[in-house]
Amino acid sequence: MRRFFTPLMLLVAAVTLLASCLNSDNEDVVYSDDVAITAFSIASAEMTVHTTSSTGEDSTYVKSNTSLSSYKFVIDQTKGEIYNVDSLPNNIDAKKILVNCSTKNNGIAVIRSIEKPDSANYVSSSDTLDFSEPRTICVYSPSGKYSRDYVVKVNVHKQDGDETIWNTTGVSQEFASLTSIRGFQMGDNLYVLGVDNGNTLVYSSAVSDGRTWTQTGTLHDNASQNTVVHNGKMYVLDGSDLKVSIDGINFDTIVESAPITRLVAQSSVALYGINADGNMMGSEDGGLTWEVEDVDFGSQIPSRDIKYCTVNYTSVPNAECVLITGNRDLDAYPADSTAVVISKIVEKTSGAKENAWSGVTYSSWDSGFLPRLDNLTVVNYNKALYAFGGAGIGECKDTAFDVLRKSIDYGFSWLESTDVTLPSGLDSSITSFTAFADENGYLWIICGGTGKVWKGKLNKVGWAD
């Protein structure tokens, strides 16, 4: 049995009496029996903001009237539930929220007291409400005959979305002695390739594990730095032979004495390599045949520390951006202080124009350049590119693992990351390590020298947009 509280009954009676007195034609006024909440949103709330002073001291302040109208709420009329799919930031004060609540035919909405469910207050867009726990909003029909309860749950993240949490999965002694390390995910497994005693050893572990690693294959010493995953298969330049594997165990030869000396990248359309003359080459038939690719005049081709990332290119429908980073030969170019960055836009539409590789050039006054780091490593993660490396080489004087840089413009500019961070106490050889992301939103760092395996995640990765 529903109980009507006295103020509400007085209001309904007053409205009815007033309408009756104003009706000079003695017509009957009929009030709707329909009852429903038709829209619900958060207008604003208080937010605690963390800041750092010029002296490095941390402090906080409260920002009032923070707009949260972009967070959409679902109204389940069948279950009588209202909730937001995308949780609010964790620094929102859920006890001080202003809401907008619309009802059908201007029905009256009240929110039941947390301490005394039989009492309630009107829902007003000018009064803050406590949604630190689920609340019941009752809406009454204009006729006063019917009412309906909705349970409103305002979801707030319990973690800081821009915080990266790192944990070690342990120490894998087999990785401690590896050099020229490369890691990636293929299918349901993680793979790590590295050189030990003149051979590339292949190790695998389930994506859900990362603690137990099994050696699955042995290849030539150049294989670890000449491996890409293309359309679900592992392609490897093993010695001079191009091979393919679907499991990291069995490697079938595609081409003996392949026309490339480096296998450097892939898109969903093609494989990409570099030949003995330093030319970019591409293969659209799985490595069977290769053709020299166009390169914009003046673009430089890296010869060492080569990494690649392939990302969706949002400016062109059905297109990808293939980004290759690396360094030029140290003996031939001792004065370089910045890394080489080249990219190509690949359109997946049949018959699309073939685009050339183009390079990024930096001026002496540029601040967003990618430094020339030993074993420069680039990872595609969180809809951005992240880069770090060992000590600077040539004219680059950076310290190993000093700064993690982020690019949101396909590798053109690189600024210090303010969201993803490297693990505190990263203990690795400064020349032998690898980093990659898996499809579950986790980052992995494999450390040569110590054998440590780090697994981390930016909290907001995987949260609803």
pLDDT at 399 over 60: yes
Q: Which residues pair with 312 in a beta bridge?
A: 320
pLDDT at 134 over 70: yes
Question: What's residue 333's pLDDT?
Answer: 95
pLDDT band at 89 (very low <50, low <70, confident <90, very high): confident
Q: What's the average model confidence in pLDDT over 417-431? A: 94
**What does residue 32 show for φ and ψ, rounded to 5 degrees?**
-70, 145
What is the Cα–Cα distance from 10 to 107, expressed in whole angstroms?
15
- Token pair 């030949």 in the structure block, residue: 275
pLDDT band at 11 (very low <50, low <70, confident <90, very high): very low
Cβ-contact 379, 437 below 8 angstroms: yes
Q: Mean pLDDT of all residues in the chain?
A: 89
Question: What's residue 365's pLDDT?
Answer: 58
Question: What's residue 118's pLDDT?
Answer: 84
Q: What's the average model confidence in pLDDT over 216-245? A: 98
Question: What's residue 465's pLDDT?
Answer: 45
Q: Which of 143-147, 363-367, 445-449 has the lowest mean pLDDT?
A: 363-367
pLDDT at 13 over 60: no
Exposure b/e, 366-400, CB count within 10 A at least 16 = b:
eeebbbbbbbbbbbbbbebbbbbbbbbbbebebeb
pLDDT at 210 over 80: yes
The segment with the largest mean pLDDT, out of 90-104, 117-131, 208-222, is 208-222
Nearest CA to 404 among 383, 424, 421, 419?
A: 421
In degrees, rounded to 5, the angle at the alpha carbon of residue 405 between the alpha carbons of residues 453 and 374 is: 65
Q: What percent of the chain is predicted at pLDDT more than 70?
A: 89
Question: What's residue 116's pLDDT?
Answer: 86
Number of C-beta neighbours around residue 57 at 10 A:
8
pLDDT band at 52 (very low <50, low <70, confident <90, very high): low
- Sheet architecture: strand order including 377-381: 377-381, 384-388, 405-407, 415-416
Question: What's residue 162's pLDDT?
Answer: 76
Cβ-contact 152, 123 below 8 angstroms: no
Q: Which of 286-295, 345-354, 395-404 has the lowest mean pLDDT?
A: 345-354
Question: pTM value?
Answer: 0.75
pLDDT band at 144 (very low <50, low <70, confident <90, very high): confident
Q: Which of 108-122, 256-270, 372-386, 447-461 has the lowest mean pLDDT?
A: 108-122
What is the Cα–Cα distance from 257 to 266, expressed in whole angstroms?
20
In degrees, rounded to 5, the angle at the alpha carbon of residue 220 between the alpha carbons of residues 214 and 226 is: 90
Question: What's residue 366's pLDDT?
Answer: 66
Nearest CA to 213 among 172, 274, 158?
A: 172
Cβ-contact 118, 3 below 8 angstroms: yes
Q: Which of 14-23, 93-102, 177-186, 216-225 has the lowest mean pLDDT?
A: 14-23
